[in-house]
Amino acid sequence: MTSFRKLTPAEVAALESLGNSAEDWTKVLVAPDFEPFQLHQSHLEGCVEIARGARIIRSRVANYRIGEASLVEGVTALECRRRSAFGNGTGVATMNECGGRTVKIFDAMSAQVAYIMAVYRHRRKTIAALEKMVDEYAGERSSEMGEVGRGCRIVGARFIREVRIGNDVEIDGASILENATLCDGVRIGVDVKAYDTIAAECAVIGNGSIVERCFVGESCRLDKGFTAAESLFFANSHCENGEAASIFAGPYTVSHHKSSLLIAGMFSFFNAGSGSNQSNHLFKSGAVHQAVHLRGCKFASSAYIMSPALEGAFTMVMGHHSYHHDTSAFPYSYLIEKEGHSHLMPGANLTSFGAVRDIEKWPSRDRRTVCRDIINFEEYNPYVAGAMLEAVNILHELEERDPDAQVYTYNKAIIRATALRRGLKLYNKAIVAALGAMLGKGGFDPHYDGSGRWLDLAGQYITRREVAAILDAVDRGELTTPAAVDNRFRVFAVHYDDYAHSWAVQVYASMLGHTPTAGELDDAVAAGRNAHEAMRRTTDADRDRDCSLDMAVSYGLDCDNDDDRREDYYTVRGLK
């Protein structure tokens, strides 16, 4: 704990000779080794504490603690004018602009707790208990003094009001920051305006961005004039230029283009092409509709969705879709507009190298250190594999109902017979690969029952049964803090492989009609490996087509022969 002392009369005189002034010098406390040169042409109001090596230059500071070796320079006002929770407890109207899914944010919030507060509104007792926990936490974090941690650099900012600033934070030329918490390692750029916001560890809010009532998660980046309101962004999300309103952006939500609008939706591991747009306002009942784009969805350029709508995991969306489709049962699909209608190609994305590239790149782009959000990166998992099993059943039912049909309709989406049959083949191969992968991990332990439906809670694969058990514990008062709730999710995550193995064994047993023997399990693992390798040969061929010389058009612009053009192409593409 840093000790402070009052200024001596000689120090006050020296400070005033350096152009400093104070409302009341007796309320200014300094470190034992304080030197007057640490302040220059600055004005202090109320209670101000200045730690060892901290400097205040040409700035006005009111009711703030300035941490060790921190610099405050050229700041119009760094002030705490009232008791504040510094953004903790702020309600964010995520997913629903009218506030039906409001999440109270706090500086230690995980994606899993936020997901529960946003999605489980039907459990009113649970939501009330969680909101009470957040209110109590916000009360504990409230103070009449603002705080700047150690090693911070705050330069050229205009107004910083009621902001708690962690360690090693950089603020360079921000316009206004108000009622916020900036956790350790946060970076704030020029002309940033942020209100009622929390930025988690190592988040970046870059030049020109406007952020209002938002949670910006660990290692997230909002940059280049991005505008966000009433939104939650979780680990490693990266959004630039465009706009977000009332979104739940799970881990790795990405949008880079000025013309992109993400509104009233849930995303994760998502990529928005240029011109991506959504509409949540049917005018008759207001802006109450929402769309959910499950893990790994992608929007092609100018893709448009009219809410409400729901796409399965790893779906590629192209064109305009306004018939309120629900394709959640069909992961790894293409959803394409043809003649104004939504056409579904089940499983088609399983042949795309793009999907493989995405799955492989996410772990390598994990910039986190705290890792508050729980993220499963496993390609083969009970959640997606369970969806593929359901997809196979649905496709068989459609085909059996009308074996001679050329076109089928499911939840407002059109499926051609050829696409249906191809989807069955692709899903069956992927199911074999998934079961083999999960049977080859973990081990049998009756403590870890992974049977039943699995969920994807903003990045974490978990059984529905375990989620219900956690929430029941909240209702009973057994879990009384957000940290305690998070810990239950983490305990499951530690044993994920065992739960996934259990699920795969039980699914495989249902297929065989009996409990599999050790030999049958070995055979399934080998079959899964073979299926995976066959699928990779297909996606590798897709990559080879993408990297073929047919795609070398415009390369080697000034070359005189094919060899030089090819060399230019291979060099630029990094294929050599």
Which of 256, 258, 59, 225 is CA-nearest to residue 158?
59
Which of 208, 254, 246, 253 is CA-nearest to residue 230?
246
3-state secondary structure 470-513: HHHHHHCCCCCCHHHHHHHHHHHHHCHHHHHHHHHHHHHHHHHC
Does residue 308 have a cis peptide bond before it, meaning omega lies within 30 degrees of 0? yes
In a domain, 110, yes or no: no
C-alpha to C-alpha distance for 157 and 76, rounded to whole angstroms: 7
**Residue recorded with tokens 């230059």:** 57
- What tens-digit pLDDT sequence spans the chain (576 residues)? 568 999 999 999 999 999 999 999 999 999 999 999 999 999 999 999 999 999 999 999 999 999 999 999 999 999 999 999 999 999 999 999 999 999 999 999 999 999 999 999 999 999 999 999 999 999 999 999 999 999 999 999 999 999 999 999 999 999 999 999 999 999 999 999 999 999 999 999 999 999 999 999 999 999 999 999 999 999 999 999 999 999 999 999 999 998 899 999 999 999 999 999 988 877 677 788 999 999 999 999 999 999 999 999 999 999 999 999 999 999 999 999 999 999 999 999 999 999 999 999 999 999 999 999 999 999 999 999 999 999 999 999 999 999 999 999 999 999 999 999 999 999 999 999 999 999 998 677 778 999 999 999 999 999 999 999 999 999 999 999 999 999 999 999 999 999 999 999 999 999 999 999 999 999 999 999 999 999 999 999 988 888 887 888 889 888 888 888 888 888 888 776
Q: What is the DSSP letter of 449?
A: -
Give, in degrees to the nearest 5, the angle at Cα 264 between 263 and 265. 95
In a domain, 424, yes or no: yes
In a domain, 489, yes or no: yes
Q: Can you give the C-alpha Rg of the chain in angstroms?
A: 28
Give, in degrees to the nearest 5, the angle at Cα 492 between 491 and 496. 125
Phi, psi of 237 (to 5 degrees): -70, 150
Phi-psi category of residue 339: left, alpha or beta, with phi > 0 → left and psi -120 to 50 → alpha? left
In a domain, 483, yes or no: yes
- Do β-strands 334-338 and 304-306 pair in parallel, antiparallel, or remain unpaired? unpaired
- Do β-strands 187-188 and 170-172 pair in parallel, antiparallel, or remain unpaired? parallel
The boundaries of the domain holding residue 431 are 375-534
Tokens of 380: 């083969």
Count of the separate structural domains present in the chain = 1
- Do 116 and 169 form a contact (C-beta atoms < 8 A)? no
In a domain, 401, yes or no: yes
In a domain, 427, yes or no: yes
In a domain, 384, yes or no: yes
In a domain, 346, yes or no: no
- Do 205 and 189 form a contact (C-beta atoms < 8 A)? yes
3-state secondary structure 321-375: ECCCCEECCCCCCEEEEECCEEEEECCHHHHCHHHHHHHHHHHHCCCCCCCCCCC
